[in-house]
Amino acid sequence: MKFSEIIYQRPDLGSMKQEFSNLLQQFGSATSSSAQMEVIDKIYQHRAHFESMSNVANIRNTINTSDPFFEEEQNYFDINYPIYLDLVSQFYKQLIDSSFRSELEKKYGRQLFEIAKMTRKTFSPEIIHELQHENELTTEYTKLIASAEIEFDDKVLNLAGMVPYKLASDRLTRKAAHEKTDEFFVEHSAELDRIFDDLVKVRHTIAQKLGFENFVTVGYMRMCRTDYDAEMVRGFRKMVEEKIVPLVTNLKERQKKRLDLDTLMYYDEPLDYISGNAQPKGSPEWIINNAAKMYRELSPETGEFFQFMLDNELMDLVNKPNKASGGYCTFISENRSPFIFSNFNGTSNDIDVLTHEAGHAFQTFCSRHLGIEEYFFPTSEAAEIHSMSMEFLTWPWMNLFFDDLTEKYKFAHLSHSLIFLPYGVAVDEFQHHIYQYPDLTPAERKSYWRSLEIKYLPHRVYENNEYLELGGFWQRQAHIYKHPFYYIDYTLAQICAFQFWIKANIDRDEAIKNYIRLCDEGGSKSFLELVKIAKLDSPFEKQTFTNTVNAINNWLAKVDDKALN
């Protein structure tokens, strides 16, 4: 079914609660595992409908945040999703306590029970009000960021529309574009502080009501991290600090020389070459046509997937007014259909976001046969392996988009992937500190962020930009507001994606086979189990980390990047 043909209807939560109650009663009184499995199938039918309508409403709201109907529907789900989670929690309790648990585990896998157990610890009917407020605040943040109207170059632009100017070869233009963007955040700084302060407080209250000292433990359990902990993450951050920060400092020094600058300012960093960054050489429609060719040639499975996305209008890719920022992939489980959302703006990021989100979408397409909500996506750090690896597995087709600029794109793409890691762990360390000390003032939070920039991004120079010098940059990172503790996931997945890049350079067919096998597993296994299935090594292992990063750095070191100017 085409996305435009999906009929949205607000779920009747009252009747769903009654139906759930009846089904759970049947589950509890069932005298065989097969009888319980029949009930589980019915429960997942109800869940699929509610989740699908929630996702459709969210997609249509983010495509146009000013649409009053879907704004109201988003408000409905902000309030009622926690009530739905109460029903899911009741189901999880019965599932965990089932007399036929061993038989159910054989059919559905142990991971479902691990997720159920962890989710039960993060939910109680006592926190429904707080969860509702948390949802309202994250929606408020989304709407605020989408509302940006920046006057520049005789146009009125949103944040995505400003990006091409921030990449301008003319230094005065890109500096002005950065400063105009910063003005939006300065203007709304107090509002952004208030939203985040409220989020920290409500999340701390949630943690305390659940019996925890602070939100850190709750945040990890919400992410369903079953086979690693905060101590292992701390060790990973330390490896990034010791091994990668010096490499990034060197890459920034090379960039400064390429751009022929005495000092690389913060507004210079997005520009890779003095002649300008590589840009796709065609319209969004042209990009999609080339992407279809790319995925047909990559494998039969990816070709089938991308044609399915085209036939069913499951992508909304181009930036427009009142569209939410960023990009994402979601899954409409009732239709077994992925959906890709992005903001094309004429930069190389259009290709990055397309391949990245297509990686997520391809994985859900592969694992849709698993049939239960918990398995359509894996946990986030595993999900990001699919997306980040797809960015690299599609490298042989980058000439379709960049033609004679392909080598410029590849060097920049791999450089940015390495450069991202220190920023990624800074975001994670920031969140640990914030939720460990929930009573920090907005100024103290910003000061701590600035200290992390000095630690992980020592090359960064803000040239007397007071807002950024005081630590305001993090306010544009949506994950910090909307998805607490979802960021180390990208860095862990990046080390895994680098391994796919290395393997594809040695035996491309084998790498793609292992990638597809990983996608087929969906969320049916934990992160480190999925890493093994993909024949990758754990990013927490020092030897894995060192060998992988060295391979990337050696490739970059051999490129005569000044010749790419």
Mapping DSSP to helix (H, G, I), strand (E, B) and coil, where does residue 384 land? Answer: helix
Residue 199 lies in a domain: no
Q: What is the pLDDT of residues 356-372, one digit of tens each?
A: 999 999 999 999 999 89
Q: Are residues 411 and 539 in the same domain?
A: yes
- For 549, the domain range is 225-281+379-391+402-565
For residue 538, give the nearest of 219, 235, 222 by alpha carbon.
235
- Amino acid occupying residue 439: D
Q: What is the pLDDT of residue 143?
A: 94
Mapping DSSP to helix (H, G, I), strand (E, B) and coil, where does residue 263 land? Answer: coil
3-state secondary structure 223-262: CCCCCCCHHHHHHHHHHHHHHHHHHHHHHHHHHHHHCCCC
Q: What CATH number should be reported for the domain holding residue 387? A: 1.10.1370.30
Q: What is the pLDDT of residue 220?
A: 96
CA atoms of 542 and 173, how far apart (whole Å): 43
Residue where a domain terminates, one of 113, 135, 157: 135
Q: What is the pLDDT of residue 546?
A: 97
Q: Are residues 118 and 263 in the same domain?
A: no
Q: Are residues 126 and 240 in the same domain?
A: no
Residue 336 lies in a domain: no
Q: Tell me the helices (H) and strands (E) count for the chain, helix number first.
A: 26, 5
The whole model's pTM is what?
0.95
Low-confidence ranges of the chain (pLDDT < 50): none
Q: Are residues 118 and 259 in the same domain?
A: no
Q: Are residues 130 and 230 in the same domain?
A: no
Residue 331 lies in a domain: no
Q: Are residues 521 and 412 in the same domain?
A: yes
Q: Are residues 237 and 115 in the same domain?
A: no
Q: Are residues 274 and 422 in the same domain?
A: yes
Q: What is the pLDDT of residue 399?
A: 98
Residue 40 lies in a domain: yes
For residue 82, give the nearest of 60, 56, 54, 43 by alpha carbon.
54
Dihedral pair phi/psi, residue 86, rounded to 5°: -65, -40
Residue 218 lies in a domain: no
CA atoms of 303 and 225, how far apart (whole Å): 33
CA atoms of 143 and 365, how far apart (whole Å): 30
Helix (H) or strand (E) holding 553: helix 542-558
Q: Are residues 563 and 419 in the same domain?
A: yes
Q: Are residues 233 and 100 in the same domain?
A: no
Residue where a domain terminates, one of 67, 101, 135: 135
Q: Are residues 235 and 99 in the same domain?
A: no
Residues 6 or more apart from 256 whose CB is under 8 A from it? 263, 264, 268
Rounded to 5°, the CA angle 244-247-252 comes to 125
Sheet holding 328-332, edge to edge: 315-318, 337-344, 328-332
Mapping DSSP to helix (H, G, I), strand (E, B) and coil, where does residue 27 land? Answer: helix
Q: What is the pLDDT of residue 271?
A: 97
Number of domains in the chain: 2
Contacts 24+ apart (CB under 8 A), 507-512: 508/396, 511/393, 512/298, 512/299, 512/393
Q: What is the pLDDT of residue 1?
A: 85
Residue where a domain terminates, one of 75, 107, 135: 135
Torsion of CA 422, 204, 88, 10, to 10 degrees: -90
Q: Are residues 241 and 96 in the same domain?
A: no
Instruction: List, in sequence order, the alpha helices (H) in 188-229.
Output: 189-209, 215-222
- Amino acid occupying residue 197: D
Residue 255 lies in a domain: yes
Q: What is the pLDDT of residues 295-314, one digit of tens each?
A: 999 999 999 999 999 999 99
Q: In a 10 Å sphere around its CB, with 0-12 CB exposed, 13-18 middle and 19+ buried, how is residue 565 labelled?
A: middle
Residue 457 lies in a domain: yes
3-state secondary structure 30-44: CCCHHHHHHHHHHHH
Residue 359 lies in a domain: no
